[in-house]
Amino acid sequence: MNEPFETGARVVILTGAGISAESGIRTFRASDGLWEDHRIEDVATPFAWMRDPELVWGFYQGRRRQLLEVVPNPAHEALVELEKFLGDNFLLITQNVDDLHSRAGSKNLIHMHGELQKLRCEQCGEVVVAMDEEHLTDDYVACTACGDERLRPHIVWFHEMPLHMREIDQAVADCDVFIAIGTSGHVYPAAGLLGIAQACGAHCIGINLDPPENVALFDEFHQGKAGELLPNLVNVWIGVEEE
Ligand code: APR
């Protein structure tokens, strides 16, 4: 669809780790199969947290501190331009737990796998944004609401349910255009959203460095780096003429 979106088109975007790669955040399924030198099952499951909370906490504190060193890239910024053009007809669903979409300026945004900036109390359910210096050391952070001594990362780990699934499924089923960017299509239910969009008649566009697992389901696939491809694609979709 190398042409502007139709007036009133409802557009849903799904992003994954690939969109933040050019900001310097490593993806999950890099060629070594490790995530920042750890096996995913050692740091990203509730069982890991029960077995070795110190390792899991230290790992996520590292990821949380890294947020202070990275900035949004042209792909994040292009999606802000697209949202300005589409207004309420734009929804961005991200699997990423970094805050680069919101820092770039995206507004209608759902974090389906949680957010690094937030911590959650397993006792009372309190969720807090905790990014001050005192929250970023290797010491645990206590819950100010109930006093529990150890908040956990507000992250959806493997074996846990993603957040806002009802809203997500509905928006994907109702959209006219579905665009997946920088996601390998390995992890469900996120990977299944493309199938829902396709079955419900949306035009499906993929943008990824390598063909993802579910590439055959796209109507249109653009292979390359999101930061290089997306600004031009967005210009086409919103009808901005190239100089
Ligand atoms: N531009 C576009 N795509 C890229 C870029 C880039 N610059 N760099 C890498 N990619 C692609 C890779 O080719 C890969 O297909 O991004 C994809 C990233 O895949 P994953 O690392 O598997 O990340 P993601 O799909 O987001 O993982 C889903 O798995 O570990 C869990 O909860 C975690 O949200 C995560 C989920």
Cβ 13 vs Cβ 22: under 8 Å: no
Choose one of 13, 15, 28, 70 to mutate for the ligand 1 pocket test, by most ligand atoms within 8 angstroms of C-beta: 28
Distance CA(126)–CA(71), nearest Å, equals 28
Say what the pLDDT of residue 161 is.
97
Q: What is the pLDDT of residue 31?
A: 60
Q: In what order do the strands lie in the sheet with 177-181?
A: 109-111, 90-94, 11-15, 177-181, 203-208, 220-223
pTM, rounded to two decimals: 0.96
* CA-based nearest residue to 190, from 31, 16, 25, 66: 16
Instruction: Look at residue 32 in the predicted model and tell me its pLDDT.
Output: 62
Q: Which two tokens stand for residue 72?
A: 């949004």
29: Cβ below 6 Å to ligand 1?
A: yes
Annotated active-site residue 113? The verdict is yes
Q: What is the pLDDT along the chain (243 residues), one digit of tens a residue?
A: 678 899 899 999 999 999 999 999 988 876 665 677 888 889 999 999 999 999 999 999 999 999 999 999 999 999 999 999 999 999 999 999 999 999 999 999 999 999 999 999 999 999 999 999 999 999 999 999 999 999 999 999 999 999 999 999 999 999 999 999 999 999 999 999 999 999 999 999 999 999 998 999 999 999 999 999 999 999 999 998 764
**From atom 5 of ligand 1, which residue's Cα is the shortest distance away?**
18
Residue nearest to atom 26 of ligand 1 (CA): 16
The residue whose two tokens read 């979106």 is 5
Q: d(Cα 212, Cα 104) in Å, to the nearest integer?
A: 26
Is 212 close to ligand 1, i.e. is its CB under 6 Å away? yes
Structure tokens at 115: 């957010």
